[in-house]
Amino acid sequence: MNVIKEKRELVTLGCLGMLLLVGGLWDKQISQGLMNQGSIVGTFFQNYGLIFPGIIIFMATQIFMYYAKKSDLSSFSKGSIYVLAIVAGGYQIWQMIKIMLFYTVTSLNNRQHNQPLGAANNDGGGAIHFPQWFFPALVLLSLLTFAIGCVLCNRWLKEKTLQEMNGLVVVGLGAIVAVYTANTIVDVMKGLWGRLRPYELQNNWSEFTSWFKINGVNGHKSFPSGHSEQAWLALYLPLFVTPTKKAKRQKITILASVFGCLVAWSRVRIGAHFLSDVVVGSMIAIFVVYVVSRLLKQRLDGEKLI
């Protein structure tokens, strides 16, 4: 069984390596052939494809709260954990909703001004007019999402034993490490590489550079893809499932992988990234989840490492 799993991991690594090689050779040609900033599918995943890091951190904060509830900690310690978990979880939900609303407003503005639906300044340099409903909608949707998340997590965690909660606390801490490690790596590389995005080059491809050329800090942030990285972080979700429920873990892993592939493809389609951008963004998330899962002494299918 271990041999099969090792082969599966090597095949995954080999496929990603081949895609990176293809990107190094034909990034420009692929984007020129696929790019369409009016793509509805590309716009959808651009607007709503960054959902999972916020969900993962929120789930971790709920775990900490329920662990405190079931533990014999002092009232002060429990209260402190409750406050920190509510603040941290609420902030993650707020940021998640804010990003989705921001991209939604961008799409609405594009439609109003007869621009491609998915056109967006992904590097934050463009001005945008926020409608009056933006802030009220942000507050309302954040509160509603937070409440629904608490109800769902209550149904998930209320029957867990203290021993099970001890394991989930470790998984929750690993979730924080995985999300912030992957995000930090991508953010640093984006600034350092200084690669122009395909939509920035569509009228003049003379400034195109391959993924392996480091241009330095210049305000351009195509490489690697943050959307792809954050989408593939969904691979962490199976670790929240009881290790003995292997079939459920495998189903979630498959769904997370499909979602990651769709988001990565959509980034190339909408002209926000080259193939090599999304491959490296995906590789970073996959590698980070892989390492953290090993540090937690669990495989994604529930096998314990000794």
pLDDT tens digits, one per residue of 51-107: 999 999 999 999 999 999 888 888 888 899 999 999 999 999 999 999 999 999 999
Residue, of 13 and 43, whose pLDDT is higher:
43
What are the pLDDT digits (tens) for 126-167? 567 788 999 999 999 999 999 999 999 999 998 888 888 988
SS (H, E, C) the chain: CHHHHHHHHHHHHHHHHHHHHHHHHHHHHHHHHHCCCCCHHHHHHHHHCCCHHHHHHHHHHHHHHHHHHHCCCCHHHHHHHHHHHHHHHHHHHHHHHHHHHHHHHHHHHHHHCCCCCCCCCCCCCCCCCCCCCHHHHHHHHHHHHHHHHHHHHHHHHCCCCHHHHHHHHHHHHHHHHHHHHHHHHHHHHHHHHCCCCHHHHCCCHHHCCCCCCCCCCCCCCCCCCHHHHHHHHHHHHHHHCCCCCHHHHHHHHHHHHHHHHHHHHHHHHCCCCCHHHHHHHHHHHHHHHHHHHHHCCECCCCCECC
What pLDDT score was predicted for residue 59? 97
Read off the tokens for 137.
Answer: 């909608």
Q: pLDDT over 90 for what percent of the chain?
A: 71
Rounded to an integer, what distance in angstroms lies between the CA atom of residue 103 and that of residue 51? 13
Rounded to whole angstroms, the Cα distance separating 122 from 187 reads 13
pLDDT score recorded for residue 119? 87
**What pLDDT, on the 0 to 100 scale, is given for residue 280?**
97
pTM over 0.85: yes
Indicate the pLDDT class of residue 3, thresholds 50, 70 and 90.
Answer: low
Task: Answer yes or no: is pLDDT of 303 > 50.
Answer: no
Work out the mean pLDDT of the chain and round it to a whole number.
90
* Six token digits for residue 100: 């989705």
Nearest to 98 by CA among 68, 56, 134: 134
